[in-house]
Structure 1
Amino acid sequence: MKNRRSPRDEKRAAPWWRPSYAGLFLGFLLFILTFTPSLVPRPPLFQGLLGGLAFFIGYGIGHGGIALWRYLQLPELPRSWWLGANIVLALACAAAAIVYIPQAAAWQDDVRARLDMPPVETANLLLVISTAAGVAVLMMLLLRGLIAGFRAASALVYRWVPRRIAGLLGAVIFAVLLVTLVNGTLVSAIITAIDKGQALTDVTSPPGAIQPTEATRSGGPGSKIAWQDLGRAGKRFVTEGPRKSEIEAFTGRPALEPIRVFAGLRTADTPEEQVKLALADLIAMGAFDRSILVIATPTGTGWVDNNGIAPLEYMHHGDIATVAVQYSYLQSPLSLVLEPGRSQDSAAEVFRVIYRYWQSLPKDRRPKLYLFGLSLGSLGSEGSPPMYAWLGDAFDGAVWSGPPFRNRIWRSIQRDRETGSPAWRPVFEGGANFRVIGHGGSAEEADRDWGRVRIVYIVYPTDAIVFFEERMFYRQPQWMAAPRGEDVSPLLQWFPIVTALQVGIDMMFAAEVPPGHGHDIAPADYIEAWTAVSTPKDWTAGDASRLAEKLQTETASSSSSW
């Protein structure tokens, strides 16, 4: 018992300001590993943020592990060995830094080359290190504050109960108070502030938005929905898209004026009233007399990707009606975190109302019913049809692109895929109802013929929003196994904790890449997906190629104006 110290001695020997050497070494090691490549390139500022978070987690694990070891009174290294052990660990960290940091720029360039992006000019190491240091210090100060709060609560309870029980009760009491304060006050205030700010932005009109003169678009003549109530995304949706004359010029055949209906959040006070007004617009515009009706679930702000709808309008000569209903002012990541379930609830209500009206029509006179959703929109759209809408009087199909890792059906397809098919391009039941394509892939190639409902997922292997997994913190994900996706770097390695943080940061930049990679869906893949799902007549590969080029050019020219 000679080496065992009392808690009082231990506290005196280790004042709060003294760093934990085990924490420093493990934190530095995780920081170094963050320089390794992941799915998409990272700007220096966010590389620093990533490094700071990794260092803080590593420091916490190292420091906490030593504290737990001592609390359990397990054998420790003799004091005479401490200096040598610290020198060995320091040399190991220095060696890792020498090996990894000089290669950071080359690793980023390898990732950029696979995504058709130009190489970086400099790694900006000073910005990375200073940002990482600032983040790590801030996080550790926050942790120190939490620990002080736990200790204060425990000291208060210690007046009435034994020390160890006081520690537990104090921790529970402080945690409850903290969660109550954060969830009940802080988070609510943050949500309210962000929502108000985004709502003010939503009132404005995007550059180039023009109130439609066609009676086939919400906000136009005879529409039940006023132009000013469409919101920023709704105004963009009804402004974009081909008109009858454009379609005829492209196809050389007569066309109809496409119908686009949009109900913004200001359209009505409740989601139910929003949908009813959208349905009224659809009925008034003759949407149920068209060949195809699409229920499009937008992303968080209400945005509907024009490239996801325009191909249908071209390939079916404008004989299309599309409806979308806004459910949030927030960007998709914020909506997903701060408004969980909002997209699913809205999509389910929209589907229920429109499906019931559609179902009441004679089968030989009603349009085919399709669903569409990108990103958070696909999460809502995927869960919108109830079980009975998949069976019997079913809807006809869907195109879901960039499905977030929370999508239930998408995760099931990955989990239950056929043996031999990779997690980034899963084959499920021979492709009878669900098919997955990537950049330039074909949705027509499958072992089995299409079933009653046709679903196509568009997924790129470098899309972190699709492939993030919580289990990456402690287990290598299956999508990293060989063979890897065509644009995933072979230099990407799995490290506990680090890889999950890297892919988490990658989600923020998944759409900041050229089309056909990450979370930026290429028009050609939308065209391929809708061709397989909707089977347009007299549509050729040449038509698809011309349309893809046209949409890509239009997207590039309009991206700056929107």
Structure 2
Amino acid sequence: MSAATRSRLRLPRASTALAVPVALGAATFPSFLPVQPVALGVLLVLSLGVALVAARRIASVGPRLTIRAQQGAVALGGALTAYVAFLALTTQNAMRARIGMDPLSPIDVGVALGTALVLVGATRGVRWAWRHRAAVSRRAVAFVTGLALLTFAPASAQAAATTNDQVLLATSPVGAVRAYAGLADAADDSERARIAVERLTAAGGLTRGHLLVAIPTGSGWVNPEFVAGSEHRFGSDVATVSMQYDSRPSWVAFLLDRDGAVTGARALLDEVLLAVSSLPRSQRPQVHVVGESLGATAGQAALTAPDAGALRDAVCSTFWLGTPGGGRTGLPRETLAANVDDPIVHARPSMALVPTDEGRPWLPLVSFVHAGADVVASLAVPAGSGHRYGAEQPDRLQTCAAGASTGTA
């Protein structure tokens, strides 16, 4: 084979043809949850970029190929891409069917491809502007790029604040008691907790057989499904009280101010304990502490603090839903709810290099990146999967006395 008839594999069309099926396979590799269309577009661009760099570096030190060999590589790449696309579509649709989601539609595929094209175009535009900074200010490029990235965070935070469909501010259809205090009620955690318990007391919450202290997520959200389920189980003989301690989404509060969540949870628990302990022992309701997501982490930390002995003695049972990292307290009558596909519970940083113990498909680094995408999309799934927990969960709440009252509907 003469040197004149050879060409390196690093030619764009050959390297791209072989990199595309690898990138597609990595972008659609099975994870905790079905990949969402926008996330698929992002993963495609990320995977393709890495695959192209790797393919061209390998080609630069590899043997030269003839023109016919290059054509064969392109044909092979096309065939592999078609096969991987079929396998990915089949696998993703099976995952979606398992949790009650519709199959991927042409619109979903279009959204994924459109997202990928927008990202590629934006990346090339930024690179061009950076290289031509004589004509375009470097500061302007950095500002526009940063503004585009930061747009999502305020939008997310605003959504959490304005879509506050706070179930505890609505009237119970079965006559149960609901009480809530938000950030607008007071700036201080202790004062806000006092207001929440005052509202609970004024509504007759301390006269009910069961008192649920709900530690909310970072934005102050209380799961309406759990409230509805508990009221279905206990009827009017249940009261639920909660207090907002932050306005940011849970993942932001978890990363930036986890201690603030614990402080808020402790303030509410202390105020509830004070109110309950003022009643004759025979008239005290069973106190149940319920926490979801960051609320579970905060509630667990508040109850296991060295000086929380009185709190632990006053609590009948605890219920933790979707605890980040799968934490628990070990206290009596503790119940955990953890969907098998909830990345908030099961994902670990070690997934980057070590397979999980759950027997799920795994690839180094790839599975870790997918877990991050799953965390972002963990609420974009039906109840009972991902990080969403349904109205059936309160049926598992443990009570302290056999034959405890179930209330009346």
Range into which the TM-score falls when normalised by the shorter chain: 0.7 to 0.9
Distance 1:403 1:22 in 2: 44
Counterpart among 236, 241, 244 of residue 318 in structure 1: 236
Alpha-carbon spacing, 1:345–1:471, altered in 2? closer, same or farther (3 Å): same
| Worse overlay, 276-285 or 261-270 | 276-285
Q: Is 1:241 matched up with 2:172?
A: yes
Distance 1:146 1:453 in 2: 60
Distance 2:369 2:309 in 1: 37
Distance 1:517 1:196 in 2: 24
Aligned to 2:4: none
Over residues 115-146 of structure 1, what are the superposed CA-to-partner deviations in whole Å (9 max), with x where a residue is unaligned? 13333344865553453354356558779999
Distance 1:89 1:97 in 2: 12
SS in 1 for 2:387: coil
Contact 2:38 2:111 in 1 (8 A): yes
Counterpart among 96, 111, 116 of residue 100 in structure 2: 116
Counterpart among 353, 359, 368 of residue 286 in structure 2: 368
Counterpart among 321, 337, 353 of residue 401 in structure 1: 321
SS in 2 for 1:501: helix
Counterpart among 7, 18, 32 of residue 25 in structure 2: 32
SS in 1 for 2:239: strand
Structure 1 position 267, deviation (Å): 0.3
Distance 1:459 1:320 in 2: 24
Distance 1:134 1:366 in 2: 60
Letter in 1 for 2:63: W
Aligned to 1:515: 383
Aligned to 2:299: 381
Q: Is 1:103 matched up with 2:53?
A: no
Over residues 507-556 of structure 1, what are the superposed CA-to-partner deviations in whole Å (9 max), with x where a residue is unaligned? 333333333222332322332x12x345673789xx9xxx9xxxxxxxxx
Contact 2:181 2:243 in 1 (8 A): yes
Counterpart among 48, 54, 57 of residue 47 in structure 2: 54
Distance 1:143 1:474 in 2: 32
Contact 2:316 2:333 in 1 (8 A): yes
Q: Is 1:459 matched up with 2:304?
A: no
Structure 1 position 365, deviation (Å): 4.0
Aligned to 1:166: none
Structure 2: runs of 5+ lacking an equivalent: 1-10, 134-141
The 5-angstrom pairing of residues 10-159 of structure 1 reads 29-58=22-51, 81-83=63-65, 94=78, 96-122=80-106, 125=109, 127-136=111-120, 138=122
Structure 1 position 323, deviation (Å): 1.1
Alpha-carbon spacing, 1:83–1:350, altered in 2? closer, same or farther (3 Å): farther
Letter in 1 for 2:339: Y
Q: Is 1:500 matched up with 2:379?
A: no
Distance 2:286 2:371 in 1: 39
Over residues 169-197 of structure 1, what are the superposed CA-to-partner deviations in whole Å (9 max), with x where a residue is unaligned? xxxxxxxxxxxx99xx989x879955984
User: How many pairs does the alignment contain?
Assistant: 385
Letter in 1 for 2:321: S
Structure 1 position 296, deviation (Å): 0.5
Alpha-carbon spacing, 1:273–1:121, altered in 2? closer, same or farther (3 Å): same
SS in 2 for 1:478: coil
Distance 1:95 1:347 in 2: 57
Aligned to 1:328: 246
Structure 1 position 470, deviation (Å): 1.9
**Which is bigger in relative contact order (C-alpha 8 A, separation at least 6)?**
2
- TM-score relative to the length of structure 1: 0.56
Alpha-carbon spacing, 1:473–1:192, altered in 2? closer, same or farther (3 Å): closer
Aligned to 1:537: 403
Structural RMSD (CA): 4.4
Distance 2:60 2:245 in 1: 63
Contact 2:28 2:35 in 1 (8 A): no
Alpha-carbon spacing, 1:497–1:28, altered in 2? closer, same or farther (3 Å): farther
Alpha-carbon spacing, 1:52–1:116, altered in 2? closer, same or farther (3 Å): same
The 5-angstrom pairing of residues 258-277 of structure 1 reads 258-277=176-195
Letter in 2 for 1:459: A
Distance 2:152 2:59 in 1: 50
Alpha-carbon spacing, 1:524–1:27, altered in 2? closer, same or farther (3 Å): same
Contact 2:245 2:264 in 1 (8 A): yes
SS in 2 for 1:243: coil
Q: Is 1:479 matched up with 2:358?
A: yes
Structure 1: runs of 5+ lacking an equivalent: 1-17, 67-75, 150-180, 207-231, 245-257, 411-432, 434-451, 482-492, 548-562
